[in-house]
């Protein structure tokens, strides 16, 4: 089975990487870019029957720093 | 309007970061993790009416290195 995890910085946490992308898009002539947030996407190829709870456990223990990051799990 | 861009390494391109995550999950006792690929997710807050073509142009010019990365655009 496949699962996709998104890890994003929480709202209110500064995202300098996203700001750099926004600035670079402006420099390249793309107008109207009001904000950019950059995060990670992690595609997991797991043994069949792995529970969403297990995947959330992976996020809590390794994939996300829950102090500053939030995560979401999609099972495909 | 909001758009989300996923940038992933193409199949066949080595992903040492994903391999490191897979190894670390095994070390933490998570069995059955057959593969991990890590990529970027970029959330764009754009002026209303920005076309998907414009967003693809942003990907081609800045967000993705199309030699080794593929991208997908979702408009929310």
The residues, ordered by sequence, that sit 6+ positions from B63 with a Cβ below 8 Å of its Cβ are: A21, B5, B7, B40, B42, B71
pLDDT in tens, B14-47: 999 999 999 999 999 999 999 999 999 999 999 9
Which stretch of DSSP H or E encloses residue B71? Answer: strand B69-75
Read off φ and ψ for residue A32, nearest 5 degrees. Answer: 80, 20
Compare CB distances from B40 to A25, A41, A45 and report the shortest one's residue.
Answer: A41
Q: Given CB atoms, is B23 within the 8 Å cutoff of chain A?
A: no
The chain A residue lying nearest B18, using CA atoms, is A42
Cβ A76 vs Cβ A42: under 8 Å = no
Q: Do the chains contact at A47 and B36, CB–CB below 8 Å? A: no
Architecture of the A2-75 domain: 2-Layer Sandwich (3.30)
Q: Which two tokens stand for residue B3?
A: 């758009």
pLDDT in tens, B53-63: 999 999 999 99
- What ipTM does this complex have? 0.92
Contacts of B30 in chain A (CB under 8 A): 54, 57-58
Helices (H), chain B: 16-27, 52-58
Contacts of B62 in chain A (CB under 8 A): 21, 24-25, 28
Q: Is residue A73 very low, low, confident or very high in pLDDT (cuts 50, 70, 90)?
A: very high
Angstrom distance (rounded) from CA B66 to CA B4: 17
Q: Given CB atoms, is B73 within the 8 Å cutoff of chain A?
A: no
Q: Where are the domains of chain B?
A: 2-75
Residue B4 pLDDT exceeds 90: yes
Cβ A40 vs Cβ B38: under 8 Å = yes
pLDDT in tens, A5-41: 999 999 999 999 999 999 999 999 999 999 999 999 9
Q: What is the DSSP letter of A57?
A: H
pLDDT averaged over every residue in chain A: 97
Angstrom distance (rounded) from CA B33 to CA B35: 6
Angstrom distance (rounded) from CA B9 to CA B64: 9
Compare CB distances from A25 to B25, B34, B58 and report the shortest one's residue.
Answer: B58
């Amino acid at each position: 089975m496949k699962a996709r995890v998104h890890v994003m910085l929480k709202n209110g946490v500064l995202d300098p990487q996203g700001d750099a992308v926004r600035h670079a898009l402006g420099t390249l002539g793309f107008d109207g870019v009001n904000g950019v947030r950059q995060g990670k996407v992690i595609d997991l190829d797991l043994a069949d029957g792995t529970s969403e709870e297990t995947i959330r456990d992976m996020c809590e223990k390794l994939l996300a720093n829950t102090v500053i990051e939030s995560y979401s799990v999609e099972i495909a």
